[in-house]
C-alpha cells in the first residue's frame, strides 16, 4: 500500500471509504477547530456523513479528479491533505489541508502538501497548483508561502461562514517555478 513518511512518527496514506469510522472519530476531535477554514460539506457529524465524504472523494479520484490523503501520527488519523480540484486536461489543481490542534506545528502539512504539488506538477505534468484559504487564516497562508506559491489575489467576501463573509486568498505556483525551486535545492 502507498505510504509516505512525513516525520519519524507520521505517515501520509490514501484516506478511503473503509476509514469512515476512523475519519468520523478524527472529525469529532477536529470539528470545531477546522470548521471555519474548510468547506461545510467536509465537516460531517457521524460515521454515515464521514463515509459519504470519503465516497465523494473516491468517486472524484476514479474520474481523475479530487483525491484525499490522511496524515497518521503514531497510528492515529490527525488530519490530511487533498486535491480539492484536479483537472489534468486544463493543467490545474487546487491543494488543501486540515489538521486537528494536537498535531499542529510539526511540519506534516507542509511536507504532505509538497508531495501533492510535486506529484501534480512533475509526474502528472500539470502547469499550475493553487492554494485557496480565508485571508485571516495565517497558518494556511504560511503553508502556501513555504510551498513557494505567490499570492495572486484576494476574492473579497467570497467565503461565507456563520452569517459573515470573509475574503479568500488565491495562491499559486507554476510548474517552471516549482521545478526551478526544486533544482535550486
The per-residue pLDDT for range 92-149, each reduced to its tens digit, is 999 999 999 989 999 999 999 999 999 999 999 999 999 999 999 999 999 999 999 9
Beta strands in 91-149 (DSSP E): 92-99, 128-134
In which band, very low, low, confident or very high, does the pLDDT at 1 lie, cut at 50, 70 and 90? Answer: low
Domain count, the chain: 1
Whole-angstrom distance between the N-terminal and C-terminal Cα of the chain? 29
User: Are the beta carbons of 58 and 51 closer than 8 angstroms?
Assistant: no
Q: With CA atoms as reference, report the closest residue to 82 among 92, 95, 71.
A: 95
Q: With CA atoms as reference, report the closest residue to 116 among 93, 133, 137, 145.
A: 93
Domain that holds residue 37: 4-184
Ramachandran area for residue 74 (φ above 0: left; ψ -120 to 50: alpha; else beta):
left
- In the block, which residue shows the cell 454515515? 48
Residues 185, 90, 81: CA angle, nearest 5 degrees: 55
> Which residues have a Cβ under 8 Å from the Cβ of 4 and sit 6 or more positions away?
11, 12, 13, 112, 115
When mean pLDDT is compared across 8-12, 84-88, 101-105, 151-155, the lowest value belongs to: 101-105
CATH of residue 87:
3.40.630.30
Q: Does the pLDDT value for residue 44 go beyond 90? A: no
Amino acid at each position: 500500500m502507498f505510504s509516505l513518511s512525513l516525520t519519524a512518527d507520521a505517515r501520509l496514506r490514501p484516506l478511503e471509504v473503509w476509514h469512515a469510522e476512523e475519519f468520523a472519530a478524527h472529525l469529532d476531535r477536529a470539528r470545531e477547530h477546522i470548521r471555519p477554514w474548510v468547506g461545510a460539506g467536509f465537516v460531517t457529524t457521524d460515521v454515515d456523513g464521514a463515509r459519504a465524504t470519503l465516497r465523494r472523494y473516491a468517486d472524484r479520484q476514479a474520474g481523475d479528479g479530487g483525491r484525499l490523503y490522511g496524515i497518521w501520527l503514531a497510528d492515529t488519523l490527525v488530519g490530511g491533505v487533498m486535491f480539492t480540484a484536479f483537472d489534468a486536461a486544463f493543467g490545474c489543481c487546487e491543494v488543501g489541508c486540515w489538521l486537528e490542534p494536537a498535531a499542529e506545528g510539526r511540519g506534516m502539512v507542509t511536507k504532505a502538501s509538497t508531495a501533492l504539488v510535486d506529484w501534480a506538477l512533475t509526474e502528472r505534468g500539470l502547469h499550475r497548483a493553487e492554494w485557496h484559504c480565508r485571508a485571516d487564516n495565517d497558518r494556511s497562508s504560511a503553508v502556501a508561502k513555504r510551498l513557494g506559491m505567490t499570492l495572486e489575489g484576494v476574492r473579497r467576501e467570497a467565503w461565507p461562514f456563520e452569517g459573515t463573509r470573509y475574503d479568500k486568498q488565491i495562491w499559486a505556483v507554476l510548474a517552471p517555478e516549482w521545478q526551478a525551486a526544486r533544482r535550486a535545492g
